[in-house]
Amino acid sequence: MQSTRSTALSRALRTAVRSHPPTAKRHTSSVALLSQRFQFQSQHQQHQPQNILSRPAASFTPSLTQQTRHASSSTTPQTDLQKTPLYYLHLSHGGKMVPFGGFHMPVQYSSLGVAQSHLFTRSHASLFDVSHMVQRLILGPGAAAFLERITPSDCKNLETHKSTLSALMTLDGKGGISDDTIITKLAEDKFYVVTNAGCRGKDNNYIDREMAKWNTEMGHEGLKVREEQLDGWGLVAVQGPKAEEILQGVLAEEGVDLKKLLFGGSLYAKVKYGGGKVSSPLLISRGGYTGEDGFEISIPPAETVGVTEAFLAAGPEEIQLAGLGARDSLRLEAGMCLYGHDLNDSITPVEAGLSWIIPKERRSENAGYYGADVIAKQLVPRSKGGVGVHRRRIGLLVEGAPAREGAEIVSRSEDGKEAISLGTVTSGCPSPSLGKNIAMGYIKDGFHKAGTEVDILVRGRPRKAVVTKMPFVPTKYWKGTAPA
């Protein structure tokens, strides 16, 4: 059964394909006026905005968890939806806005259709507004150890300014994924953590509860921990082969060589914007969700519009805004999971093909994170005496009509044999890059090997499909010059 978030996203994407987005001509206000309007609102709410990401941890104010939490859901009534700092900029560029993750988000723009935007990202660069994601800082002398209780990551030994994909583990000890996350170590006592917008309420409750428990148990040992949630901050992703050149062109400081910043790394740098203005130091992380080289930039509220416009100033021949539609097809081609679709509370990292997020040092049953004993047994396949897993996440190439989420995967019904149910599709769409239908799903262990032929029931009719390795399209992450 599809989750509410899944159904809402699918409906939004189908609507975008069928509908024509509003054009920029329909909006009488200029980008500048719309930007000024939002900046005035931001400054009124936050009189002296500061880049707390770049401040030392010791100078932080008490935890922002004391502030009112705002639950986020795709089912939030439209009147209750929040706006990102770039909401008015989206409108001025003809963005077709839909409810997603509790926010008004652009699904596409008037300049390019979803498939065209997808291909433009692969050949040039696109800018995605991902400010709906939850940005938070986990701080204090116990920060690394606290994160190692709720995730399988090795935060103590993670290098400063390095990131890792991780997961908040369910508290029931069964090894499920409560949410996926990116953790960046900024200092020994300071971690930048990004989680999903649609899990905002759930994650806030999870972290509040676990943090209180931790401080009760470990606070007397000098390992207290606290949180700062960066509400209202911008987060933009510049993705594509032109991304480095565009970002390098707006940096305000000499000596920052982005070639030296590899995939999974981060740094602080200032950006030129708005006719001579210079931003505060921004956290720039090399990575992304599209499979392309790119960067994600965290920006204080009052600077988000200006910094974004600085990137767009490279011109539409080099960079364009892109929405949820292209983001979804790009991430699927890259073999990336979407929480609520390909991951959920009942799926473990091993089943999801994410064993690589668990470092060698944390693969024992007594590793100390929730569900470690279950995960440790799953990591050893049955052929080697372990428990292994009974299902695995796989990629599929599908003939005929595209297979959508919820479609059943069955064995080939040849020679009069009755088809056997093998699993379920969790994501699927036509691939603009390949010109083929692709899908992701879970299948019974033993049928997961590349080349295995199966059928997928699309509207009740069997469609031929073959299990294939992911990513569907080779990734282009920058990991340094290839050896000669």
| pTM metric for this prediction | 0.87
Q: What is the pLDDT of residues 84-96, one digit of tens each?
A: 999 999 999 999 9
Least confident of 43-57, 263-277, 311-325: 43-57
CA 335 to CA 331: how far, in whole Å? 6
Residue 347 makes CB contacts below 8 A (sequence gap 6+) with: 176, 177, 442
For 11, other C-beta atoms within 10 Å of its C-beta total: 13
| Mean pLDDT, rounded, of the chain | 88
CA 256 to chain centre: 26
pLDDT at 484: 42
Helix 143-150 vs helix 200-218: crossing angle, to nearest 10:
120
Overall average pLDDT of the 231-236 stretch: 97
Residue 119 makes CB contacts below 8 A (sequence gap 6+) with: 432, 433
Measured between its terminal Cα atoms, the distance across the chain in Å is 50
CA 439 to CA 341: how far, in whole Å? 12
How would DSSP label each residue in 212-225? Answer: HHHHHHHGGGT---
How would DSSP label each residue in 1-30? Answer: ---HHHHHHHHHHHHHHHSPPPPGGG--S-
CA 421 to CA 391: how far, in whole Å? 12
Q: Are the CB atoms for 339 and 198 separated by under 8 Å?
A: yes
pLDDT at 180: 98
What's the residue count for the chain?
A: 484
pLDDT at 75: 44
CA 228 to CA 234: how far, in whole Å? 15
How sure is the predictor about 54, in pLDDT bands with cuts at 50, 70 and 90? confident
Strands 294-299 and 282-286: antiparallel
Q: What is the pLDDT of residues 363-395, one digit of tens each?
A: 999 999 999 999 999 999 999 989 999 999 999
Question: To which residue do tokens 């009534």 refer?
Answer: 77
Q: Which two tokens stand for residue 254?
A: 């000499």
pLDDT at 78: 64
Q: Is the pLDDT of residue 413 over 60?
A: yes
Which ranges constitute the DSSP H helices of 220-316? 243-250, 304-312
For 59, other C-beta atoms within 10 Å of its C-beta total: 8
Between residues 77 and 415, the one the model is more confident about: 415
Q: Which of 206, 156, 207 is nearest to 185 (CA)?
A: 156
Question: To which residue do tokens 């921990």 refer?
Answer: 225
How sure is the predictor about 68, in pLDDT bands with cuts at 50, 70 and 90? very low
Overall average pLDDT of the 36-48 stretch: 39
Q: Is the pLDDT of residue 462 over 50?
A: yes
Q: Are the CB atoms for 138 and 227 separated by under 8 Å?
A: yes
For 450, other C-beta atoms within 10 Å of its C-beta total: 11
Q: Which two tokens stand for residue 229?
A: 């949630």
